Every structure is written in structure tokens, then in C-alpha cells.
Structure 1
Amino acid sequence: MTHTHTQPGGDTLDAVGLRHVGAVLSTVQIVSWGVLYYAFAALQSSIAADTGWSSVAVTGAFSLSQILSGGVGIWVGRHIDAFGPRRVVTAASAVAIPGVASVALAPHLALFYIGWALVGVAMAGTLYPPAFAALTHWGGTQRVRALTTLTLVAGLASTVFAPLAALLEDLVGWRGAYLILLAGLVLITVPLHWWGLDHPWRTTDPASLEQPTTSRAAVQAAAPPTAQAAAAVRSRPFVLLAAANALTALAVFAVIINLVPMLVEQGLSRNLAAVALGLGGVGQVVGRLGYARFAAVTSVTVRSVVVLAAVAVATAALALASSSAGVLIVLGMVLGLARGIYTLIQATAVTDRWGPTAYGTVNGILTAPALAAAAIAPFVGAALAQVLGSYADAFLVLAAVAGVAAVLMVGATPKDRPALQDVDAEPGAISELR
């Protein structure tokens, strides 16, 4: 049965409908990120040790999933713009089940890779981009609040699942850990996506109506969605934004995936290092709680540059810090804070610059290079550590990469942006969440 929690004259959801969708997507995000992504960060060394497969081969399978996710994600974004998210994200959730099962049960490396290939397809339809597209479309003037709520909850995925995966590995091995975590996909993500996203989806936009135009931004706002998407992705700011996002993803995900080995190198136990990785999720939540106030007092360019600079500084500080467990954990949380804010900057990057029309298509194209960079990030981090002799030196190089991204972000905003009066970024936008 189709829900009718929509505003008159369109398919923007009312407060009740938006809270319902937000709760559904938030629940799915924490489980999907936890099982499909963060569990691997905690289990990768155990997989290599147990199977005898090289760490490069094991990480390569995970990287394959990221590359496939980026490619499939472009199609997913276009499909969502045209038909809505319900069918495609439910199908992706279903694909994750045989994918994770294949990873857990793989007797040889070939099936392990096939499993991660299926997981990559599932990631394209279950992680942030499709959820961002759904909330941007259905949220209307409340989309920033809805996106903040989503990322607040999803930010806890590492906090919950990295230590949980390590604990399960101690009890039943890495294969048993994945099989237990698989239950969350079966019981939560598939049914919630199918029954929780049954809302109307309009495929035409009022902005496409004929109206007098006097500026490039106004002309683009009056164009059909496909024309708006094409104009956006051909622009110089889009290219710079995509490059900055890709470099940031390279730095951030190389740090995330290699944080546990780096902390172990610094003298922490594997379990304590996994806890430190998880506490980075607490930092993400803190950063996202303050995003609305931060956005209200900064321009899109300023906040993007400041946050990327913070990522660079925090990464360098981790590399240069003493071997004190407390100091390393606190710095990891600070990096998590910057990463948490950056997730919301990514979620609103398209609407802040080109408006919400054709969001799924434009964001899918924007996200693809970042996902490719995230795919090679584990290799880059490990290779840098091997060449330079330590993970700490590798983190210094990754900090420099994030610094370059901050410089590119200076030119990543169109000078003639469409007016976005409906963007909700007031300081009180998420006060009810506190």
C-alpha cells in the first residue's frame, strides 16, 4: 500500500513521512556500512592470516568492490531520478546477501573475489549516495535536517561494528563473524527498504516550466533535468569538486583502512586499535551535530576548505603523535569529527551549487571518482608504508594529499549559483536531535 505523507502539490514528504523515511534509511545505513565496510577494516588481517592469502590479494578484493560500486552508482543515480529509490535499493540489499555469504564461505580466492564483486554492486544501492538522493528529493526545505539525522546515526557504524566484528572473530573466527553479521542484512535492510520507502516519486520538476531568464543560473534552473545535469558536469567547478573529493577520499579511506595496522605499529593491541577505529565514529557524530550551525555562518567554499584542511592537519598529527594510547585515540576522534562534517558537505555539495534537480544523476557522476579513489586507497596506504618504512610516514603523505584537495576546493563553487532559498541550514535545524 502506498503511503500518502506528501505535501499538497508535489511529493515532498510532510514531517511524519520524512521522519519515517529518515528512520528507515538511518537504520539501513548503520547496518549496511557496518557489515559491508567497517567489518572488513577490523577483519582484514585475520582473513589473510587464516587463509594464507596475501594481504594485497585480500585488500584487492575489497578494492574491486569499491570500483564496481562507483561504476554501478552512476546508473543507480539515474534510475533513482527517474523511478525513485524503492526498487533499486531493495534489489541492492538482496544482492548483498549472497555477496557476504560468498565472502564468508569462500574456499578459494576466486570465490572470495566474486563475493566482493556482489558486495560492490550492493554498496552502490545501499550506502550514502542513494540515501542522500532520496532525502534530497523527499525532504524539500527540510533536507539538511534529514541528511544530518541520517549521517548522525550512520556515523555510529564504525563505533558499533568494528569492535563487534573483532569480538565475533575472537569467538567464532572471521568466517563465523561475517555469517552472524549477515543476519542483519536479511532481517533489516531488505524488508525496511521495500516497505519503508513506498512513497510517491515525481519525475518532473516545476523548475522546468517556461519562465523569463536573465542569468546563466536562471537558464540552467529552467532547463529540463537532463540538461541541468549535463551543464553541471561539464563545468570547471564540477571538475575541481570531483578532483578534490577524489583526493580526499584517497586520503581518508587510506587512513581508515590502515588505521588499525598503524596503531598496532605504535604499540596498541589489535582489539584496542579496533576500539580506537570505532571511537572515530563518535567524533563523526559530534561533527555532524554541529554542522547546521557551522553551515549557517560559512559559505559553501569556506566550510569545504576549512574541513579538508582539518582532515590534513589531523592526519599529520596522528603521524607525528607520541605512542600514548590516549593521545592516538583522541586524535582519531578529531579526525573522525572532520570526516563527519565532510560527509554532510558531500551530501549537500550538489544542491549547494546546482540545486536539487537531477540530484541522483549529478551526484552519481560526482561520487564515482571518489569511490574509485577509495578503492585504491588501501593499496596506496599499504604501499606508502612499505616504501617509506612506516605507517606514520605514509600518513604524512596522505595529509599532504588532503591539503592539495583543500586547495582545489577553493575553485569548486560556481560564481553564478542558483538561488537556494529552500535550503534549511539554520542553527536550530537539528536542535530537536540534541
Structure 2
Amino acid sequence: MSLSSTQSRLTILVWALGTTQVIGYGTLYYAFGILAAPMAHDLDWPQEWVFGVFSAALLLGGLAAPLAGRQMDRLGAGRVMVVGSLLSALALACAAMAPGRVGFVFSIVAIELAATLVLYDAAFAALAQAAGSAAKQRITQLTLIGGFASTAFWPLTALLLEHLTWREIFLAFALLHLGICAPLHLLLARSLDWRKASALALAGGSAPATHHAGSLSPAARPRAFLWMAAGFSCGGFVLSAVLMHVVPMLATLGLGAAAALVGSLFGPAQVVARLVNMLFGGRLAATWLAVLSTALLPCGLALLLVSAPALPGALAFALLFGMGSGLISIVRGTVPLMLFGTADYGARLGRLTAIRVVTTAAAPFALAVLLARLGPAWALSGLVLIGLAGVVALIALARLSASAAPQPRLTPATSG
């Protein structure tokens, strides 16, 4: 296969995965914050308990991530994503037809278990298998496309809710997974031999692909993994809490109808940050990009805390927080690749996701309780402190990475 043909295949792969990520995140994650209120009304539950179900489902999905990652390494991420798309459609349909609370709970859990098989971790594994050491650039391109998920599905879900029930919306989302995501994943799985694709891809766009061995020595890897897991967990907690509550939280701060406008800036801010990183961030180590991205979260929240209900402060918060969120999506895939290499990449991402989700799954429920009991000021202050703890952990990771092995090592690819 020629180098130009390989590049074309990888470009098609990125665009196809980008489409499925927009649909996946939009339907399996972002829409829940808009639909929680009608769900609670329909089920005659306090809204906090609906978010509690969602948090528990996120936790169980995260605990399943290591197993999912091992299957991606063994079978190929493309094939696993086909199964995940079919399960996502089935789970959404089951939730739409759930007769009561018990069926609803099991269906939401099924949705988040299926999400483990189709969202970023699975897509990153597919790119690592297809592009080898060139996957960092492709991951950045993928997240650039995926950043439109919230921009598209927050207003789309709100618009649909004016004409449909939440159950009918879930049925429509199921059709998206069945009619668009599953066929795309099936075509990708069939068109690429995942076990041999890395031998045909490009490294840096000019040479045959290599298996990246990682920049860390074996002795430094256990400590690095702990710092990485701690930093990503703190950042993930803040993100998970805010993204599920951003519009109602802004409304409680006195922004009223402007809350939706502020929330709509998250997606564009994510895309802008990823685009700037893709164009100018090549010289910044992935570990220090992780520090920067996580630091933007507490900075944005602190600015919102001291400026609310002023609209300019809220807009600045949306830009900072959205940029941090956009960059975090990149470093979740590139930092493990840089430090530990491509070997067992899917399984490592799965373990990292399990640790992160165990600590972040309760975030939507915790913030819902804090907002209801203590108000937004105390809730935001707590999130700022958690975000700063994540920054400290990632600074320790960056320093360890720089001292342990300043130069990455590459080993020739094999065809196994």
C-alpha cells in the first residue's frame, strides 16, 4: 500500500470516527443534562436521584473499561465499536420503553456500559492501532471534530424537547446509532486490518510507522501512572460535575435566559483550543499541555465565582472552561501514548478510565446535592480546590517525565 493511500485511509478514519463521536457524546452524555428534568417528572423522582442513577451508571461503565480495553487490543477497536453501537441503540430504546423506575435504572446503566465501547477511549485505541506513533496528530484531529458534540446536541435536544417527550427523543437517538454509527464502525472494521495497519501507517507523515515504546523507563512508570491517574481524576471530576449542570447552574447564579447562550460557547471554545494546539502546540510536551488544560478549569470557575451574575465574566468562564475541556480530551489519549507507548494501549487506557471514573462518577450527583443544599458559591469553591489538586498532580507528572527520560525511544514495528 502506498504512503498516500495510507494517509487517505487515516484521514477517512478520522472523519468517520469524528462523526460517531459527535453522535456518541451528544446522545449518550450531553443530552442527559437537558433531559434529566422531564425524566424526573415522568418517574416522579427528585432530580438529584435521576443524576444519581446517571452517576452510578458512569461508575459501572468505568469499571468495565479495563475489560473493554483488553478486547480492543485483542480483537481490534473497530470490531468492538460495532458491537458498542448496536448495544447503544438497544439500550437507548430500552430506556425509552422502560415502564418504571427499575427498568429505567437498568437501561441507563446499559447505556453507559455501551458508551465505554464507542466513545473517545475506543476511538483513541483505533487510531493507535491504525497510525502507530503518528496517532498523536490523528487524536488531535479527532477531538477537533468531536468538540462539536455539545454545540450540536445541547440545542438540538432542547429543540426536540419542545415537540417530543424524552422517551421519543431516546428512540430517535437509538436510530442514529443504528443507522449511522454502526454502519460506519462496520465499514472501518472491515476496511482496516487492525493488527497490520500500524506497519502501513506513517510516522510524522514521512516514514513507515513505528511502535512507540514510550519515553519512561520501567522504574518510573508506576509513579507516573499514579500521578497521571490522580491528575486526570481531579480534572474529570470537575468536568463531569459542571458539564451536567452548566445551564441550570448558570441560571441559579442570576444569568437567567443568558445561561443557554453562555453554555453554547463551550463547544466552540473546545474546537478553538484544539485547533490552536494542532497548529502551534507541536513543541509543547503532552504532559505540560495536560497541566495547562487542567489549570484552565479552576481558573474559569474562580472567575465565574467572583464575577457572577455579570455576563462578561460568565462568557470568559465559558471560554476558559471550554478550552480546558477541549485540551483535556486530547491529553487523555496523548499522554499515555507518549509516556508508555503503543503496546497494550487499549488496556492501559481502560485501567486509567476505571480509576478516573471511580472518582468522578459521583460528580453530577454531588454537585446537584451541593447546589440544592449549600448554593452555587460553596459548590463552585469546592470544585476550584479539586481542580487545583489535579494541577499539582500533573505538574509532578511532568517533572517526573522530564527527569526520567528526556528523549522518547522508538522501536521498529512488527507485523504480529
- Please report the TM-score for the alignment, with normalisation by the length of structure 2: 0.87
Q: How does 1:293-308 map to 2 (within 5 A)?
A: 293=279, 295-308=281-294
Task: State yes or no: 1:290 paired with 2:267.
Answer: no
Where do 1:20-169 residues align within 5 Å?
A: 20-169=12-161
Q: Per-residue CA shift, 1:301-353, capped at 9, x if unaligned?
A: 43222222221111111222231345423421321011101211111011111
Q: Which amino acid aligns with 1:300?
A: A
1:411 counterpart SS class: helix
Contact 2:303/2:313, CA 8 A, preserved across alignment: no
From 274, 292, 305, the counterpart of 1:319: 305
The code of the aligned residue for 1:64 comes to A
Q: Name the residue aligned to 1:258.
A: 245
1:49: how far off? Answer: 2.7
In 1, Cα distance between the equivalents of 2:269 and 2:351?
Answer: 29
In the alignment, the residues of structure 1 paired with residue 390 and residue 105 of structure 2 have an alpha-carbon distance, to the nearest angstrom, of 31
Residue matched to 2:379: 394
How has the CA–CA distance of structure 1 residues 165 and 407 changed in structure 2, closer, same or farther, with 3 Å as cutoff?
same
Aligned twin of 1:368? 354
8 Å Cα contact 2:84-2:115 kept in structure 1: yes
Distance 1:331 1:200 in 2: 44
User: How many Å separate the matches in 1 of 2:189 and 2:236?
Assistant: 29
2:253–2:376 Cα contact (<8 Å) kept: no
Give the corresponding residue for 2:207: none
Cα displacement (A) at 1:367: 1.5
TM-superposed deviation, 1:269: 4.4
Give ranges in structure 2 of 5+ residues lacking alignment: 200-211, 411-416
Residue-pair matches, total: 394
Q: Secondary structure at 2:163's aligned position in 1?
A: helix
Q: Which amino acid aligns with 2:277?
A: Y
State yes or no: 1:248 paired with 2:219. no
Structure 2 CA distance for partners of 1:274 and 1:196, relative to 1, 3 Å: farther
**CA distances 1:271-307 after superposition (whole Å, capped 9, x unpaired):** x534433320111000100113553333334322222
Distance 1:268 1:420 in 2: 48
User: Relative to structure 1, is the Cα distance of residues 258 and 233 closer, same or farther in structure 2, using a 3 angstrom cutoff?
Assistant: farther
Conserved? CA contact 2:289–2:327, under 8 Å = no
The residue matched to 2:309 in structure 1 has which SS? coil
Match of 1:416 among 377, 380, 404: 404
Aligned to 2:324: 338
Closer, same or farther in 2 for the Cα pair 1:146/1:302, shift >3 Å?
closer
Aligned pair partner of 1:187 in 166, 179, 198: 179
State whether residues 232 and 238 of structure 1, in contact with CA within 8 Å, keep that contact through their aligned partners in structure 2: no
Q: 1:238 aligns with which of 204, 207, 225?
A: 225
Structure 1 range deviating more: 31-40 or 302-311: 302-311
Aligned-residue offset at 1:221: 4.5
Query: Which structure 1 residue ranges, 5 or more long, are not aligned?
Result: 207-219, 223-227, 423-434
- What letter corresponds to residue 359 of structure 2 in structure 1? A
Secondary structure, counterpart of 1:48 in structure 2: helix
* Structure 2 CA distance for aligned equivalents of residues 27 and 355 of structure 1: 27
CA shift, 1:7, in A, is 6.0
Q: 3-state DSSP class of the match of 2:408? A: coil
Change (3 A) 1:65 1:232: farther
Task: Supply the distance in 2 between the matched residues of 1:119 and 1:7 (Cα, whole angstroms).
Answer: 39
Summarize deviations over 1:370-407 as a string: whole Å, max 9, x none. 122331111221233244x2123211210110101100
Greater shift, 233-242 or 355-364, is seen at: 233-242
Contact 1:262/1:391, CA 8 A, preserved across alignment: yes
User: Distance between the aligned counterparts of 2:223 and 2:409, measured in 1?
Assistant: 24
In the alignment, the residues of structure 1 paired with residue 68 and residue 297 of structure 2 have an alpha-carbon distance, to the nearest angstrom, of: 29
Task: Measure the CA separation in 1 of the matches of 2:219 and 2:316.
Answer: 39
Aligned-partner SS, 1:126: coil
| CA shift for structure 1 position 369 | 1.6
